[in-house]
Amino acid sequence: MHISHPLIKPDSIESRTYQESVLLSAVNKNILCVLPTGLGKTPIAVLLAANRLEKFPESRILVTAPTRPLVNQHYKSFADFLTLDANGLAVITGVIAPEKREEIYKNKKIIFATPQTIENDLKENRLSLNDFSLLVLDEVHHAIGGYAYLFIAKKYLEDAKNPRILGLTASPGGDRAKIDEICKNTGLEAVEIRTENDEDVKPYIKEKGVEWISVDLPESFDNIRQLLKAAYNQRVDALRKMWLVKRKVPSKKDLLVLQGNLMAKIRSGNKNAFIGLSLVLPAIKIEHATGLLETQGIPILENYWKKLRAEESKYSKALVKDKAISNAMWMTNRLCEEGYRHPKMSKLCSIINSELKQKPESKIIVFASFRDTVSEIYSVLGRIDKAKPVEFIGQGSRLSGK
């Protein structure tokens, strides 16, 4: 059974109870829709757009997403599902001349763009949101800090005659406080969450086979790891003697909480807290470096060391001069020059090469946590015949590299 609507192409959108339930909520208020990847957030946005255009025929729609590939993907989906002439839809990028963008804004029914472009054009008065009846914020979990979504949502609610906002995400954050912050920042009034365990979602979940593959780290990696472990233990032992940590092996969360507590004490005038801070900050950096070595590999760790050397804080400068860290940096650089990679890279290539030989038409997605790792995977897979890899990277924090 498919959705029937005058603005939706026949037999294009399957009727799903959970989507229609979320849509019903979105029709009446600004909502945050949390739905696992692959379960159809875009069709909900399309259906809501059809509803708003039917209710306000002279209005327009603005769809934003944090990357150009996502923007183009939304454009294609809307064009595939809606009965509107495709000429009424337009993708806006910063590459288009400002005067041309202003003209497009005035003449197109549905605009697709990155939030940075929209923010700039709003500030330069090239775009008015007065007659937009729907604003879609895809990957809305980015709506924290100084991200463009905050400015756009505020401006939209101030200027639009008939505002409606739909926030979409598969990963809003691990706690209620993060969700509340997102909603507050973007004017969202309610949250609609569906998971793979919900009864109305289960019929559409495809079975996934999960196979864990372990790889052994070479001895050269372990030599660096032992140096990092010694430097880390030295600082954690000192923190334990000061009664600042209780566990023999504190978690990263323990250290981050301690960092926050010490900084709060410093702000209140307790100068003794500087001693603890001089230990916990390097410990956090060493713990992060160890994680990069174990999970990402030598080139990524080498990039991290370069960034650490460039930091101006006295704590970072002192850490770089530490004998164990200095030796770890030297060993990392030597292995990097010799072309060492994480052993999982060769395993990944073997798996993908085998899959493409068996099924040449296969499409494969490889996820990674860090930008540098994505670039390395892209480079490695480029050597596989018929792989044709493409990088897909969001516009997250450049500092975190995620």
Q: What is the pLDDT of residues 295-324, one digit of tens each?
A: 999 999 999 999 999 999 999 999 999 999
The highest-confidence range among 136-150, 176-190, 224-238, by mean pLDDT, is 224-238
287: CB partners within 8 A, 6+ apart: 232, 252, 255
Check whether 28 has a pLDDT greater than 80. yes
Return the pLDDT at 391: 86
How far out from the chain centre does Cα 144 lie? 12
Locate 164 and state its tokens.
Answer: 């409606």
Q: Whole-angstrom Cα distance, residue 253 to residue 290?
A: 15
Q: Is residue 396 predicted with pLDDT exceeding 50?
A: no
CA–CA dist 53, 46 (Å, integer): 11
CA angle 383/368/394 to nearest 5° reads 100
Residue 201 is classified by DSSP as T
Fold category of 17-204 in CATH: Rossmann fold (3.40.50)
**Contacts with 378 (C-beta within 8 Å, 6 or more apart), sequence order:** 389, 390, 391
Q: Which tokens hold the place of 214?
A: 């372990």
> 148 near 116, Cβ under 8 Å?
yes
CATH fold for domain 219-337: phosphoenolpyruvate carboxylase, domain 3 (1.20.1320)
Strand 110-113 and strand 89-92: pairing? parallel
- Over residues 240-294, the pLDDT tens digits come to 999 999 888 898 889 999 999 999 999 999 988 999 999 999 999 999 999 999 9
Tokens in use for 247?
């566990």
Strand ranges (DSSP E) for 97-169? Answer: 110-113, 132-138, 165-169
Nearest to 110 by CA among 94, 132, 129, 127: 132
d(CA 15, CA 1): 6
pLDDT level of residue 401 (50, 70, 90 thresholds): low
Q: What is the pLDDT of residue 151?
A: 95
61, 58, 68, 59: which is closest to 45 by C-alpha? 61
Q: What is the DSSP letter of 141?
A: G
Residue 225's pLDDT is what? 97
- The Cα–Cα gap between 265 and 387 comes to 54
Note whether 67 and 394 are within 8 A (CB): yes
As a whole number, mean pLDDT of residues 211-230 equals 95
Return the percentage of the chain with pLDDT > 90, whole number: 75
C-alpha 384/C-alpha 345 separation (Å) is: 12
Rounded CA separation 138/382 (Å)? 30
Q: What is the pLDDT of residue 122?
A: 97
Q: Where are the domains of the chain?
A: 17-204, 219-337
Residue 200 has pLDDT above 90, yes or no: no
What is the C-alpha separation between 354 and 348, in angstroms, rounded? 10
pLDDT tens profile 68-83: 889 999 999 999 999 9
